[in-house]
Amino acid sequence: MGSERHQRFAGKTALVTGAAQGIGRAVATDFAEEGASVVVSDILGDDIKKLESEIRERGGTVVAIPCDVSSRDQVEKLIEDAVSWVGSVDILVNNAGYLTTGTIEETTDEIIDRTLSVNLNGVLYAIRAVTPLMKRQGYGRIINVASITGKNGDNSTVFAYGATKGAVISLTRSVARQLGPFGITCNAIAPHAVMTKMMEYWDADKKQQIADKIPVRRLGTVEDMSALIRFLSSDESSFITGETVNINGGYYMD
Ligand SMILES: NC(=O)c1ccc[n+]([C@@H]2O[C@H](COP(=O)([O-])OP(=O)(O)OC[C@H]3O[C@@H](n4cnc5c(N)ncnc54)[C@H](O)[C@@H]3O)[C@@H](O)[C@H]2O)c1
């Protein structure tokens, strides 16, 4: 796999959560193209099995491990299983996410619990589980998929969603501070307007309105996200840590 592409991740292992579709699927496939051994994980077990077959058919080294990241036990088992299948976890991409739309009054206890447990607890569990391993290796790259909403809020998604993404931006800095001395970097990305299943609630008019307001005059793609995640996962980014990189065509800048 990837004979024509630079094998930037040869000898490295990468674990991607929420890999069944969208951003996670794109980056997992690209990691394999660039020589990484990849663990694809998602709550959608059948879909990651299919992705596993696709990557394997193209010559990639891959294993699919189903996991609901809101379950501490499942996340700990995921890391254990990843190590037994591919030997280590050099790169962890915390990408799985849960989003619903609605007003503050419409946000039920169940929505609050689910949003926090997937988008925040899942990230905490995974980072805690890989830390001893990455410390022993003296190497690690952790990339958290946050959101523009974690910085700027939002008026159509449930307010719990932005709260979790803001928390991810904060924990990214704590992890960067605490694990930097061990050769481990931790960064986040803050995407906006990437046309995945999660964004199907935007109709054609809304998409056009947003695209018109984006300085580069287009919506985002999973390829845009994959390129940034892989840069932050590479050795070329070893002096960047604790950052949350905006990736939104200039729609929001800080
Ligand atoms: N698309 C955007 O514009 C955008 C903007 C900002 C942030 N994000 C973030 O990007 C990440 C990826 O989202 P996407 O846009 O590719 O959407 P997506 O819906 O295509 O992918 C999300 C994936 O996460 C998985 N997932 C959901 N709950 C899970 C759980 N409990 N355990 C394991 N996997 C679970 C889903 O099955 C799915 O495969 C999310 O964290 C999302 O919040 C996306």
Band the pLDDT of 6: cuts 50, 70, 90.
confident
User: Does residue 186 fall inside a structural domain?
Assistant: yes
User: Does residue 67 fall inside a structural domain?
Assistant: yes
Instruction: Check if the beta carbon of residue 41 is closer than 8 Å to that of residue 16.
Output: yes
User: Does residue 7 fall inside a structural domain?
Assistant: no
What lies within 8 Å, CB to CB, of 70 at 6+ separation is: 114, 117, 118, 121, 122
- The pLDDT value recorded for residue 148 is 98
Mean of pLDDT values over 114-136: 98
Band the pLDDT of 247: cuts 50, 70, 90.
very high
* Catalytic entry in 125, 161, 201, 251: 161
Domain CATH number, residue 210: 3.40.50.720
CA-proximal residue: ligand 1, atom 19 (nearest): 198
- Check whether 58 has a pLDDT greater than 80: yes
d(CA 175, CA 184): 9
User: Does residue 5 fall inside a structural domain?
Assistant: no
User: Does residue 1 fall inside a structural domain?
Assistant: no
- The pLDDT value recorded for residue 4 is 54
| 161 catalytically annotated | yes
pLDDT in tens, 183-234: 999 999 999 999 999 999 999 999 999 999 999 999 999 999 999 999 999 9
Mean of pLDDT values over 116-121: 98
CA-proximal residue: ligand 1, atom 38 (nearest): 18
Of 62-66, 123-127, 154-158, least confident by mean pLDDT is 154-158
Give Cα 62 distance to the centre of its chain: 17
User: Does residue 252 fall inside a structural domain?
Assistant: no
d(CA 189, CA 57): 30
Mean of pLDDT values over 51-64: 98
Q: Which of 92, 145, 198 to mutate to test the pocket of ligand 1 (most atoms within 8 A of CB)?
A: 198
CA-proximal residue: ligand 1, atom 1 (nearest): 194
pTM reported for the whole predicted model:
0.98
CB burial of residue 214 (10 Å; 0-12, 13-18, 19+): middle
* Atom number, ligand 1, closest to the C-alpha of residue 70: 31
User: Does residue 4 fall inside a structural domain?
Assistant: no
* Atom number, ligand 1, closest to the C-alpha of residue 198: 19
Band the pLDDT of 140: cuts 50, 70, 90.
very high
- The pLDDT value recorded for residue 1 is 61
- Check whether 2 has a pLDDT greater than 70: no
Q: Is 38 left (phi over 0), alpha (psi -120 to 50) or beta?
A: beta
Work out how many domains the chain is built from and give that number: 1
Domain hosting residue 182, numbered range: 13-245
Mean pLDDT over each residue of the chain, to the nearest integer: 97
d(CA 65, CA 41): 5
Closest CA to 143 of 3, 16, 10, 6: 16
* Token duo for residue 105: 């009054």
User: Does residue 172 fall inside a structural domain?
Assistant: yes
What lies within 8 Å, CB to CB, of 195 at 6+ separation is: 207, 219, 220, 221
- The pLDDT value recorded for residue 43 is 98
Strand 37-42 to strand 184-191: parallel, antiparallel, or no bridges (unpaired)? unpaired
Q: What is 194-217 written as a DSSP string?
A: B-SGGGTTS-HHHHHHHHHHSTT-
Pocket of ligand 1 (CB under 6 A): 17-18, 20-24, 42-44, 67-70, 95-99, 118, 145, 147, 191-194, 196-199
* Atom number, ligand 1, closest to the C-alpha of residue 117: 31
Q: What angle do CA 26, 125, 223 make, to 5 degrees?
A: 10
Cα-to-centroid distance, 97 and ligand 1 (Å): 4
Q: Which of 23, 41, 121 to mutate to test the pocket of ligand 1 (most atoms within 8 A of CB)?
A: 23
